[in-house]
Structure 1
Amino acid sequence: MKHSKVSVVIPVYNMELYLAETLESVLMSDYPNFEVIVMDDESTDKSLSIAEHYRDKDTRIRIYSQPNQGASSARNNAIKTARGCYILPVDADNLISDNYISEAAKILDENPEVKLVSSEAEYIGDKSGRWKFEQFSINLLCRRNLVDNCSMYRKSDWESVGGYCNEILGREDWDFWLSLFKSGGKFIRLPIVGLYYRVRPNSKKARTRHLYKDIIDAFNTRHKPLFYKELRGKLHYQRTYSKVFNTLINWFRPHNIYSKTSNPTLEKLVYLANEENIKKNQLKLNDETVECIQFKEKRFHIPGTKIKKSKARNRFNSSNNLHLGYNEEQISLFTLNSYLIKKAQ
């Protein structure tokens, strides 16, 4: 029986108290074909020497070092060296069960539509008990993270979305899941405890309100099409109520978006909805240049009613094969803006 190679990726920064136990748990896996990639993020303690000690005893371990750049960068750089087609990130203070890799890899082998496999989890360290996860859905994922970063996915999917974002500190895994699922795919949570998540006194670092705002703003920039599709608008700082807020906003300022196909690139073009953004992002559709025509109309809108056909929608409905989609928004009680996205002639 063929076993797809799995790369277990462990970013390390000053984890001398826990790294040995983490490596032991990974090396005890019952899966016959995996490697362990340790990426040291310029640790100042004995983490690197501990990793080297285990590498000298087990040829499945490879070690790399980088200047201190953070966990996301370490994870990305480790994955670049991965020889496996499946990736399993493991934090340097957590543990995994001996059957987690084999059960997760089996799901990916047998189900090409599945993009991400996770498991049940238990707390260790300063907290005990089962980690209670919410039922997964794309809509709920747009409001909060539902998946721990110790989840298995294909390296090809990591490549297709550009890896983890190094600028979104502390929420890079959530950002990565959003990038992963915006083009579709399924999620599976195994009915086994595969992860033992360590809670330490400084596991959850306090963040300033300003930094939190920056993270939400970055999410809205990176995932605007997905949020408009699932939340009917942007992600708000009160994340749980984003859909409620957007529903109220749409009552006064309705917003319609339509693209001819489900092509993710086309959908992004339609959501961007202006020539400046299209040029700025250098977006093309199948190597063809795309242009945007803007219309501004004086039109009274009764709150709570649908937008009447805009000029962009009327042009789109003319059955011209060059027309790809439209975006229309009532920006005030008396002003309707609309945009027609079309192939350039």
Structure 2
Amino acid sequence: MTPITQEVVLAEPRGFCAGVDRAIEIVERALTKFGAPIYVRHEIVHNTYVVNDLKAKGAIFIEELSDVPAGATLVFSAHGVSQAVRREAEARGFQVFDATCPLVTKVHVEVAKLAKEGYEFIMIGHKGHPEVEGTMGQLSEGIHLVEDVVDVDRVQLRQSEKLAVVTQTTLSVDDAADILAAVRRRFPQVREPKQQDICYATQNRQDAIKVLAPQVDIVVVVGSPTSSNSNRLRELAERLGTPAYMVDDAGQLEAAWFEGRPRVGLTAGASAPEVLVEAVIARLREMGATSVRKMAGVEEHIRFPLPLGLGDKSMAELVTTRS
């Protein structure tokens, strides 16, 4: 029988980013220090394996704070929360640990600062995504969501002299650039962040796909359906002309995908653990893959500090990357 696959090419970088590592460690340390249960508002990160693993260790995931008993320990997810959620958690007297990714927090801080100076905002993002809800929830008014170029023309501002733009951190870099260009055309005076809001990990993983996709016959992205950055990786590969599929785990691989496509590119979203990638590789070997090689790429060296009370009082390490 002719092997379905022959070579697997691993994208570099792939998988967990510093914000995801930090969020998971916050829940695990809280469980160790305070015991189960630890309540987490929303999925800590958008990955089924990670959420189920933490559930097995004693984490309880909730959406409404009314489902958390008085005196409990509560963790905010990596996506961030609105000011209304923060106020409610404080009013209910929970012990709170904030696992919001520091790169999302940076956006929140920028919104709060500029709002005090009288700015309105355009936010580029996906409606209903928890990060978008958290960022827009930093203000009670004056922040307008746009999902595409068409939305930009529909924005109705109270004033346009003081206008700033912010972005969901997990968007397609190329899509966000197109929408931002439309914002600039309509509002030439718009204030942009000093550094783009799309996070380093999202950028690096998308850059890796741009190198990987032309080298292979098919791309497999390990990630859950709710993961924005994982979905963007699959979409980007397809946009580059390479068939692409996203799987939560190795059991979702279908042999028919690989027929006549001997070179398989493999990557993982920023919330997908390497153990899932290894399981996919093992399944591809069963399908006939005879070699696995890692593509050259950016190495990420970043670590964010944990909240006080969980054993880490250090300052955040600087982002350093090298080819």
* Shorter-normalised TM range: under 0.3
More strand by share: 1
Q: Which has the larger radius of gyration?
A: 1
TM-score under structure 2 normalisation? Answer: 0.25
TM-score under structure 1 normalisation? Answer: 0.24
